[in-house]
Amino acid sequence: MNKNKLENLYKKKIKLLNNYNKYYYDKSEPLISDSKYDELKSEILVLEQKYTFLKSIISPSNIIGYKPSKNFKKFQHRVSMLSLSNAFSEEDLKNFEKRILNFISKNEEFKISYSAEPKIDGISASLTYKNGKFERGLSRGDGRVGEDITANLATIKDIPKEISNKDFPKDIDIRGEVFIKNSDFENLKVKFANPRNAASGSLRQKNPEDTKKIPLNFIAYTFGFERGLKQKKQSDYLKKLDEWGFKANPLNKIISGIKNLIHNYNEVEKQRANLDFDIDGIVYKINDFELQKRLGNVANAPRWAIAHKFSSNKAISKILDIDIQIGRTGALTPVAKIKPVNIGGVLVSNATLHNEDEINRKDIRIDDTVIIERAGDVIPHILSVDINKRTKKSNKFIFPNKCPSCGSKTEKEFNKVTKKIDAVRRCSSKDYYCDRISIEKLKHFVSKEAFNIDGLGKKIIEEFWKLKFIKFPQDIFQLDYKKIEKLEGWGTLSVENLKYSINQKKNISLERLIFALGIRHIGLENAKLLSKHFISFSRFQNLSKLKNYDDLLNIDGIGETQVSSIKRFFANEINIKVLVELGKSLVIKNVLAKEQNGLLKDKSFLVTGKLNGISRAEVKSLIEENSGKIASSVSNKLNYLIIGDKPTRRKVETAKALKIKIINQDDFLKMLNKTS
């Protein structure tokens, strides 16, 4: 069969499958038997495996279940739903604890109690109860805004509708996981790849009656907003949940010491196969709420919790080819195209090879038989090569010394901080001189945490680039919508929607804008720090004129690596032009100072020397929480110099000369009505 005919056959089968899906999920009237449905789905997957050019985004291996048929109303979470950082080893856990101890300035002898809770692999939900009544249930959404799925959640028997206990808080968001038991999933296997997808699909049904047909469960483990919660520890809260009529995980434990955490992890992992629900790790949370509060969050994850992930699923396959992908920072990432293989319910056809060193170390070659590992949401990677299966004619893989996109030479940089040569090879072009880098930069620009433009995803960026509609970020705001309307697949309505979402995003915070520029080493957290420092877009832009880059080193959290990357960004005149053009199209909001009513209002501080029992990071967050400012140097604008052990003499002397108040740690804490 020729390519065209195969493609038509493939598309026809998918169309048919989608129609069956629609009747099953949307209308609850299955048109065919489960086995017939399964047969059709495998036919499609077999076609894809045999003719890899066929695989497309419409493949049933990507779309599981029929796409949600209802646009749910959106609501902002009163307290954001955070995610968790991951740990994969004992080393990661030790670092996690070290970071906490550093933050609170304690040594290893300080014992931390953790609530160790199996991490259920389901869908999280937030349930608002007011005066004991279940009022609204939201999905996680993007963590800030969720979808109103109250009616569907109300069908779950584990979710109490009314709670009359006297000690139940007047107003609280109870949060937990919705999931399907493995035994119940047996009957749903045909339609969904795994229990998690089944839970997600049924929570998003148009008709709650359809949700009701699927046996969903709910386990509670945390809370969001609350008024009147009396418990001071996670363990007490978990106990209370049970009294209030929720289910908590019976495998939750209180543990301290990394060795004991590892012991529990191994024990639970042994039980994993026998549990009736999927877990993908253990969540450790600091048990004491006061300490949790003191530690706070970094970006969108708490400092006081971490998910210790279980090792993954593995499978054997063959490397068909090695592709080189170029990222927005010019990094060349080798990707193995493998013979598609099913790992834990997901069809895997790509595996990352990380970098050149990794290929050399493992001597990975095209045609090799390999073990692939897939852990959670992480991109699958190659664990090892079966050397016995290697053919004589196989050659070592030669990593390209020229960029496959623009032909510039590729190089490995010397890292000044680690004093080592990087493992990653990069295209040596400046921003926007290499087409691939430009496209990847544009994708980053519109991505969720940057401009978050609905309807302008990666595929469309690629398409618009090919058509020369966009080359630089500013072009997004000057699109010719008439031309887009003429493209295949676009209509008046979709163009109107795109125009609307782009226009809406013309109002942007400085923080998001800086992040969107995709400057290497400037992630979300650093963009936030920089925006606080610059306050306005024009001051950020002025950096290219004033060239006062070294001042940035005074920002806590910004180091030499970041500063030299920012310098490099401003040294490229295209970037300067991009900023000028963006400035014309956008309304960039200045950073608003936090509520100015705190105890340290209108006061600025600088710390020199080592403090006792409190870290710099904590002092900094205390100052900010109380509306104070952190100065970057001793100048006549500074109000207080806080001195600890072994202060920098020059700072103390300058402060004295300028008649700035010099205080110690106790004086500072007294200003906040605290003692050390």
DSSP state of 518: T
Residue nearer to ligand IVH on the CB measure, 85 or 541? 85
Task: Identify residues 546-565 at the interface with ligand IVH (CB under 6 A).
Answer: none
Among the listed residues 41, 55, 67, 119, the single catalytic one is 119
Interatomic CA distance for residues 487 and 541, integer angstroms: 37
Q: Bridge-partner residues for 31, per DSSP?
A: none
- Asked if 487 is part of the footprint of ligand IVH (rule: CB under 6 A), the reply reads no
Determine the interface stretch with ligand IVH among 57-65, 100-108, 117-125, 412-420 (rule: CB under 6 A). Answer: 117-125
Task: Report how far residue 31's alpha carbon sits from residue 510's, in angstroms, rounded to the nearest whole number.
Answer: 53
Strand partners for 630: 605
- Stretch of 144-152, 233-241, 302-310, 317-325 contacting ligand IVH, by CB under 6 A: 302-310
DSSP-based three-state secondary structure for 119: strand
Of 129-137, 299-307, 412-420, 645-653, the window that binds ligand IVH (rule: CB under 6 A) is 299-307
119 labelled catalytic: yes
Smallest separation (angstroms) from ligand IVH to the CB of 304: 8
Distance CA 561, CA 559 (A): 6
| Residue 124 interacts with ligand IVH (CB under 6 A): yes or no | yes
- Of 207-215, 300-308, 541-549, 621-629, the window that binds ligand IVH (rule: CB under 6 A) is 300-308
* Closer Cβ to ligand IVH, 99 or 568, answer by number: 99
Nearest residue to 619 via CA among 605, 633, 632: 605
Site map (CB under 6 A) of ligand IVH, residues 196-225, x = contact: -------------------------xx---
Task: Write down the least CB distance from residue 231 to ligand IVH, Å.
Answer: 16
Dihedral angle computed from the Cα positions of residues 284, 290, 292 and 293, in that order, rounded to the nearest 10 degrees: 160
CB nearer ligand IVH, residue 281 or residue 327:
281
b/e for 48-72, b at 16 or more Cβ within 10 A? bbeeeebbeeebbbeebbbebeeeb
Does residue 268 interact with ligand IVH by CB under 6 A?
Answer: no
DSSP string covering 220-255: EEEEEEEES----BHHHHHHHHHHTT----TT-EEE
- Per-residue b/e over 346-384, b at no fewer than 16 CB within 10 Å? bbbbebbbbbbeebeebebbeebbbebbbbbeeebbbee
Decide if residue 359 touches ligand IVH (CB under 6 A).
Answer: no
Backbone angles phi, psi at 116, to 5 degrees: -100, 115
Stretch (H or E) spanning 422: strand 420-427
Residue number, 200 or 205, with CB nearest to ligand IVH: 200
Among 116, 120, 558, 641, binds ligand IVH (CB under 6 A): 120
652 close to 608: Cβ distance less than 8 angstroms: yes
The separation between CA 335 and the C-alpha centre of its own chain, rounded to angstroms, equals 22
User: How many residues appear in the chain?
Assistant: 676
Report d(CA 489, CA 641) in Å as an integer: 63
Q: Which position among 48, 117, 173, 373 is part of the footprint of ligand IVH (CB under 6 A)? A: 117
Site string for ligand IVH, 307-336 (x = CB under 6 A): x-----------------------------
| Site membership for ligand IVH, residue 305 (CB under 6 A) | yes
Of 219 and 324, nearer to ligand IVH (C-beta) is 219
Residue 15 near residue 39 (C-beta atoms within 8 A) = no
Stretch that binds ligand IVH, among 126-134, 152-160, 301-309, 416-424 (CB under 6 A): 301-309
Residue 300 binds to ligand IVH (criterion: CB under 6 A): no
Q: By C-beta, is 124 or 665 nearer to ligand IVH?
A: 124
- Number of residues counted as binding ligand IVH (CB under 6 A): 15
Smaller CB separation from ligand IVH, 225 or 477: 225
What residues from 65 to 84 belong to the interface with ligand IVH (CB under 6 A)?
82-84
Q: Quick check: 177 binds ligand IVH (CB under 6 A)?
A: yes
Residues of this chain that interact with ligand IVH (CB under 6 A) are 82-84, 117, 119-120, 124, 140, 177, 221-222, 283, 302, 305, 307
* Catalytic residue IDs: 119
